[in-house]
Amino acid sequence: MRPEDMRISDVERREVQNRLQRAHDIGQLDLGEFDDRVRSVWSARTRGELARVTADLPAPPPEPGRRQVFSDTGGGIAMRVLTIVWGSLAAVNLVVWGLLELTMDWSLHPWWIWVAVPPGIALAVLYIAGIGRPPRDR
């Protein structure tokens, strides 16, 4: 049996429908054409019929990737590590302060702020200055 004569599943239909949706979103198809093609997708029974629905469409542009917060350079790796260490220490100190606040009879000064805020500001200033930040064209 030829591959184009093989039956298709709903998963394959859904993938083609998603491709058509993307083509509509970027302006390759108008709404009426999109609707007609989606109907054809869901009435298709073979891979050949499914392929004909998207045969005239150019290859879809790549999906936009997740935006990087830190670059892959040495500065970016250092900033990533320092941010994880800072976040961990701030969280541990907040939890310890919260447990003491709940278990003590008197109110406790929020000392965890002094552990979290100054290093956080220093990290933010380094990031704003460009240390470890990915290039803007991404």
pLDDT tens across the length of the chain (138 residues): 888 889 999 999 999 999 999 999 989 999 999 999 999 999 999 999 999 999 999 987 777 777 888 988 899 999 999 999 999 999 999 999 999 999 998 888 999 999 999 999 999 999 999 998 988 764
3-state secondary structure of 17: helix
Q: Within this chain, do residues 80 and 124 fall inside the same structural domain, yes or no?
A: yes
Q: Is residue 67 part of a domain?
A: no
- In the block, tokens 């009435």 appear at 43
The count of structural domains within the chain is 2
Domain span at residue 124 reads: 74-128
Q: Would you state the pLDDT for residue 138?
A: 43
- Alpha-carbon distance of 111 to 29, in angstroms, equals 59
Predicted model pTM: 0.53
Q: Within this chain, do residues 85 and 40 fall inside the same structural domain, yes or no?
A: no
Q: Would you state the pLDDT for residue 108?
A: 87
Q: Give helix 74-103 / helix 112-128 axis angle, nearest 10°.
A: 160
- Asked if 115 contacts 90 with a C-beta cutoff of 8 angstroms, the reply is yes
Cα dihedral: 126, 129, 69, 26 (round 10): 170
Q: Would you state the pLDDT for residue 137?
A: 61
Q: Is residue 116 part of a domain?
A: yes
Q: Would you state the pLDDT for residue 86?
A: 96
Q: Is residue 91 part of a domain?
A: yes
Q: Is residue 135 part of a domain?
A: no
* Nearest partner of 38 among 58, 55, 22, 21, judged by Cα: 21
Q: Is residue 101 part of a domain?
A: yes
Q: Is residue 61 part of a domain?
A: no
Q: Would you state the pLDDT for residue 52?
A: 93
Q: Within this chain, do residues 38 and 9 fall inside the same structural domain, yes or no?
A: yes
Q: Within this chain, do residues 43 and 78 fall inside the same structural domain, yes or no?
A: no
Q: Is residue 105 part of a domain?
A: yes
